[in-house]
Chains A and B, each alone.
Chain A
């Protein structure tokens, strides 16, 4: 489903070029569970942003479902994110003014889903993450684990094919982290491709494949050195 070939992402910091990603070649299949690990500054987040079409590579190729992302225009790219890709963040990024249902409704507002359908789908999504009793709660009234579950409900409510999680358990206690991982792994088992960026070795170990980045290069787990399962 995802194919990166010699992908580079270069930032300009003052007079120096920083290679956040350097000649990355990767292949990820539909339904995989992948952990991306590596020290801080190794390019994990940059990789995730490029995979999520929030950022564009400086050079190299990124194919999503067979299409070259560089050729996709701004408007269609938004639609791609809307329909195909879900995001989960370390800091949840819920809108504090909206209750749980309202937060889950947000992506549907921008894709033009009707009001009644929005509410039903949001409630169903919240039920599936075990928050049936928290529909009307605002983020400040929820625990960290519950907030992340709302965020997960929001990320999957559009039925994406790819879920990108950036340190999803980084801000949670061990117990909640366990629950969250179980939740997204269940979705992975139903066919959702899951890519988790993490520092946490126990989280990484749960993945089917670990991609280790070092200095913007794939040190382990890339397509070329992929272990046969």
Chain B
């Protein structure tokens, strides 16, 4: 018996029983579509989050004042030293493999231009921040390079802050007031959106020294250290911790490697995607059982046909193959259809929420397709064996 003839014979049987074919194909396609759509959402979430992190710059160590520890009290009465510009200077001077060090001071103050005012986060930093945090400028320039102790009255606006204060007017060169201080606008950042609770579009950036003076602080909020290459990260982190311990005589800062954060987020969300695929697979298993039922009904409905085929000289193996091919074709067609539906659903989703990069991972597409065929093969075996075991005499005796 030739394979093509076999497939044609199976198609004939499938077309001949349209309703049950449509129903079981629908079952499998829903299962496969669910796998595709859910894994696409999971993968989209992973890409979204890691994308957010990566947009902040690669190979970054983040220094946070205070020690995050589970062991309890700080030694020597729990005194925490300030994270100062002196520390930043030391990091710049004494650490190897460090490209840039950007201090970050934070405060909130009212920003005024003309009659308009807006309460905004005021970020204090240096020119290095631009590279470290991958800031792109919409117009004008970022903070100028120079001694970070000098301060200055330049201000860089987030795109939304600029819009709110200046409308369609050109903010460059204009004077704004931040609290009681006067600043001159030297640049507006390109739109960037929200990143990790930090809305780059709705803030203003001024020199770090001025910021500390304005808010009457000595301690920095964060220090970003950009390391030269991923290989140097571990050594740099170690060295940085050693330096801070030496300067403060105690471990009172926390150093976080951004990449490890990205990685753990990525693996968590990857696991979530797998879990979603697992949940969707349940529906696929249900579809498989549906196919099994349909094929079992088909076998008992077609007892006479099976008996006839045996009388006409079809061997047991041929009967087995005929019914297996039918089951595999049912699920295979369902799989292809489900793939189409799933991809279309994902495409429609992306059309509605363009910011969310929902893409079904390749492994999900491949597994879903293989699984759809496998479902037919696995759940087709039982009915096919039923068909083979049928006694042709009894099968033919029935009307």
Contacts and interface: CB of A to CB of B under 8 A. Distances in A.
A93 interface: yes
Contact of A115 (B5, B311, B399): B5
B313 interface: yes
Interface stretch (B42-50, B119-127, B287-295, B390-398): B390-398
B311 A79 contact: no
Contacts of B6: 109
Chain A interface size, as a band, is 20 to 34
Contact of A110 (B13, B15, B313, B396): B313
A41 interface: no
Given A87-B311, A102-B12, A112-B2, A95 B305 contact: yes
Interface in B289-316: 304-305, 307-316
B1 interface: yes
Contact of A45 (B9, B318, B397): B397
A29 B15 CA distance: 44
A117 to B, nearest CB: 12
A112 B310 CA distance: 15
B310 A75 contact: no
B16 A97 contact: yes
Contact of A54 (B5, B17, B311): B311
A93 B313 contact: no
Interface in B370-398: 392-393, 396-397
A102 B13 CA distance: 12
Mostly, the B contact residues are helix
A54 B393 contact: yes
Contacts of B305: 93, 95
Given A45-B397, A91-B399, A52 B2 contact: no
Contacts of A75: 315, 317
Interface in B212-246: none
B98 to A, nearest CB: 75
Interface in A12-55: 45, 49, 52, 54-55
B310 to A, nearest CB: 7
B396 A93 contact: yes
Contacts of A131: none
Interface in B9-45: 9, 12-13, 15-17
A58 interface: no
Nearest to A79: B313
A97 B310 contact: no
Contacts of B2: 112, 114
Interface in A77-132: 78-83, 85, 87, 89, 91, 93, 95-98, 102, 106-107, 109-112, 114-115
Contact of A52 (B311, B314, B316): B311
B1 A74 contact: no
A102 to B, nearest CB: 7
Given A45-B397, A110-B1, A74 B312 contact: no
By Cβ-Cβ distance, the 8 closest A-B pairs, closest first, are: A82-B313, A97-B16, A78-B315, A107-B312, A81-B313, A110-B314, A93-B308, A87-B311
Interface of A: 45, 49, 52, 54-55, 74-75, 78-83, 85, 87, 89, 91, 93, 95-98, 102, 106-107, 109-112, 114-115, 154, 158
20 contacts: A54-B310, A54-B396, A78-B313, A78-B314, A78-B318, A81-B310, A83-B313, A85-B313, A91-B399, A93-B304, A97-B12, A106-B312, A109-B9, A110-B309, A110-B312, A110-B314, A110-B318, A112-B1, A112-B2, A115-B5
Interface of B: 1-2, 5-6, 9, 12-13, 15-17, 304-305, 307-318, 392-393, 396-397, 399
